[in-house]
Amino acid sequence: MSDPADRQAFAERIRLQLQSRYRGVEVVIDDAAFALRLKGAGVDVPLPLGPLHHACERAPDRAGGLIADYVRRVERQLSPRAPAEVSPSRLLWCVRGVGYLDGLSRAAELTTRPLGAEMVAFIAETLPGSLMRGVPSTDLAAAGLDDVSARAHADANTRTRFSSLPERIRAAERIPADGWRLGSDILFQGSVLLVAEVLAAFVERSGGDVLLAAPDRSEVLAIPAGLPSADRFRMRVVRAWREAMNPVSRGILVTDGASLSELEAAPRKAGFELLGWLRR
């Protein structure tokens, strides 16, 4: 059996990581159960630590990755248990990777909007602290919202959330050599991809098409397609996606200011085929 002091230190390590990530809840240690408990508005979630601790002991070289996965998965348990009344003013589009919905029990009931590049937007409701929940269609209906009106509220609220961004983009004195990085919204940064005014501002400031990516839920990268460094954009996105605490997608979108579509992967260069020829 592990030393009690070691278990206490392990519990405190996880508690600090969760507390820094989910600032809208209180994270406390339950020593008797060797677990953590997350408490907040409508939230009371127990998190056993035994399985994670044993896994880290068995594979200490993978401990960092195991802990990161554990912390990331907690988000899906933070929706309030008791159904709260839906407020139209709190509805937003939330952008995540398509695989994110696989872990939600009521994913089929969400109002969604595909974006391409392995990303999907769904209607969510902001909650106190750094929390949100996907809103099932039954909850929307209970609030008197049909599909059309729910989408309209999400559109308007998402535009309002990023209303200052278009002017800031247009007023930028220069375009960074490696493009822009947006990272001020810990939960909904990817939602800028659904704001037409933001896309138009990027294209207007760039003077042409713009490439966009959301490797993490709190990060959007953008670069004018005409910049020489745009050739390296895909590598930058993949690197950011691999290092992300809450990965979304390594795919790339392109906009002309009026539409948004997935950027096709670049064809293999002839130089790579030369190696195959040499092997024959």
pLDDT for 210-247, tens place per residue? 999 999 999 999 999 999 999 999 999 999 999 998 89
Stronger pLDDT, 207 or 44, i.e. the higher one: 207
Residue 277 has pLDDT above 50, yes or no: no
Joined tokens for residue 273: 């085929």
- Please state, as a whole number, how many other Cβ atoms lie within 10 Å of the Cβ of residue 240: 19
The dihedral through the CA atoms of 141, 82, 85, 36 has a sign that is negative
pLDDT of 197 higher than 90: yes
Strands (E), 98-190: 112-116, 119-127, 131-134, 180-182
Structure tokens at 83: 């159904």
What pLDDT score was predicted for residue 183? 94
pLDDT-above-90 percentage for the chain: 64
